[in-house]
Amino acid sequence: MLGTRVFGGAAGALRIPTYRRYFLGQFVASIGRWMYRMSIGWLAWDLTHSTVWLGAVAFADLVPTAVLTIFAGAMADRFGLMRLIRINLTLVLSLAGMLGVLVIAKLVTVELLLVVAFLAGSAESLGQPARLAIVNALVSRHDLSSAIALGSASFNASRIVGPSIAGLIIIWTGAGVVMLLCALASAYFLFAIRTIHLEESRKPPAKGDSLLRDTLAGFGYVANHRGIRFVMILLTATSLLVRPVIELLPSIADKVFQAGPTGLSTMLSAIGVGAVTASLVLARRGQTQGLTKLLVWSTFGTGICVAAALQAPSIRVAALAFCGMGVCMLCGNVSAQTLVQNAVSAEMRARVLGLFIVFGHGLPALGALVQGWLATFLGLPMAVGGSAILMLSFWFWALFLQRRMMGELEGPGGD
């Protein structure tokens, strides 16, 4: 068929009506989320012209990912994926709509902005594990890899499209209208979710089991599952040693390449192009087999690309290396998530994916803090490049276990 020839494995996932509605709804909501992030940052700056307040608002928006997501996975396994996603979207659209009205009425203050940022970040964290876990229920195991790659492609595309749309609307009408559009984007996803009917097999908690006990059970499951433990170790190493380079790019653009904002934009765009390209290729590939090997070698590629970028003679050469980093990092992330989804048992899926989010998206902030501190003594090229080279030790370890882990991660798994 023409669709299969053009889109490869992605065509199988997109042919499923429920997944197609979910994919489009999530893509629209993701664009809205990135519009919101840019707008709330602009509002913080416009109200205060203070970098301290700007950083505080960003911190309030992102810190729930590192804390609340751990418990959100246990809540999703306990109360149901669809229910938690609906609650998440209802909270997000309510907060965005309220903030939009307050901005238009000129009643917003930076203190209120800080509170709304924390509440919106908490609402997003509440739904993140469920959003990842639900994909497994929407598609067959054969289409799982394509569906996850398509989700990554939409996320990376929305990261480019969302801020661009928000910037134009802020210039034309103001940030309040952007917030109202963000609410509409979440409302569209909520409507799409309500058209999807799934039979969820939830295991009610045993008498005396608390949310904390359920959460700790997720940690125990990861520690005792050899394949998932292997993936999480590689994910943690990547998050601490090479992923923090993105947070440090403003300093790298200025101090290493003397390129300023233009250089920063060039490097960020290069990473984005590489990530989107890799997402689309993986979506078209549509296979779980071979992803363990891809995960291991993407670890090697990410470390090499980051080290090469820091030693590049010009910003253009560095951009090429960062594009390669975007490809390798995305391949590693999609491979890791697909393998975990394939191997994890159904009753533990959301809890394990909650930890996946924390390790993958929360730890880079800690890595950036440590590498930034080391850079004051060693310089950026040595601190960041040295961490990338250290990543190769994890690659050697993973290479040794690669064949054994294929059976653990790429087999039938636990549904």
For residue 259, give the CATH number of its domain.
Answer: 1.20.1250.20
- Overall average pLDDT of the 231-251 stretch: 84
Task: For the chain, give the percent of residues with pLDDT over 90.
Answer: 27
Distance, CA of 276 to CA of 213 (rounded, Å): 38
396 — pLDDT class (breaks 50, 70, 90): very high
218 and 272 in a common domain: yes
Q: What is the pLDDT of residues 130-163, one digit of tens each?
A: 888 888 888 877 787 778 778 877 877 787 778 7
Domain boundary among 196, 231, 266: 196
- Candidate from 280-289, 299-308, 333-342, 369-378 with smallest mean pLDDT: 280-289
| Contact in structure between 44 and 175 (CB atoms under 8 Å) | no
Residue 14: predicted pLDDT: 80
- Total-model pTM: 0.75
Residue 298: predicted pLDDT: 92
Domain that holds residue 310: 212-410
| Contact in structure between 162 and 170 (CB atoms under 8 Å) | no
Residue 4 has pLDDT above 50, yes or no: no
Domain boundary among 139, 171, 196: 196
In order of 41, 115, 252, 386, the CA distances from 58 in angstroms are 7, 11, 21, 28
- Overall average pLDDT of the 85-113 stretch: 93
- Overall average pLDDT of the 272-286 stretch: 79
Residue 351 has pLDDT above 90, yes or no: no
- Overall average pLDDT of the 214-232 stretch: 89
Residue 1: predicted pLDDT: 45
Distance, CA of 68 to CA of 123 (rounded, Å): 9
- Overall average pLDDT of the 109-120 stretch: 91
Domain assignment of residue 140, yes or no = yes
Distance, CA of 257 to CA of 2 (rounded, Å): 46
Distance, CA of 173 to CA of 409 (rounded, Å): 50
Residue 21: predicted pLDDT: 92
Residue 273 has pLDDT above 90, yes or no: no
∠ Cα 141 143 145 (to 5°): 90
178 and 227 in a common domain: no
Domain assignment of residue 49, yes or no = yes
Domain assignment of residue 16, yes or no = yes
323 — pLDDT class (breaks 50, 70, 90): very high
| Contact in structure between 351 and 218 (CB atoms under 8 Å) | yes
341 and 307 in a common domain: yes
Distance, CA of 130 to CA of 283 (rounded, Å): 21
- Overall average pLDDT of the 249-255 stretch: 77
Domain boundary among 163, 196, 229: 196
- SS3 category, 289: coil
Please count the residues of the chain.
415
Residue 188: predicted pLDDT: 96
Residue 82 has pLDDT above 70, yes or no: yes
| Contact in structure between 391 and 234 (CB atoms under 8 Å) | no
Q: What is the pLDDT of residues 6-28, one digit of tens each?
A: 445 566 678 888 899 999 999 99
| Number of domains the chain contains | 2
Domain assignment of residue 203, yes or no = no
| Contact in structure between 318 and 380 (CB atoms under 8 Å) | no
* Residue 360 CB-density burial (10 A; 0-12 exposed, 13-18 middle, 19+ buried): buried
Distance, CA of 104 to CA of 95 (rounded, Å): 14
* Structure-block tokens of residue 187: 């409302």
Mean pLDDT for the chain overall: 83
219 and 192 in a common domain: no
Higher pLDDT, 215 or 412: 215
383 and 282 in a common domain: yes
Higher pLDDT, 214 or 92: 92
Residue 297: predicted pLDDT: 93
Phi, psi of 412 (to 5 degrees): -60, -30
143 and 24 in a common domain: yes
- Short-list 170, 137, 131, CA closest to 154: 131
| Contact in structure between 326 and 242 (CB atoms under 8 Å) | no
* Residue 205 CB-density burial (10 A; 0-12 exposed, 13-18 middle, 19+ buried): middle
227 and 182 in a common domain: no
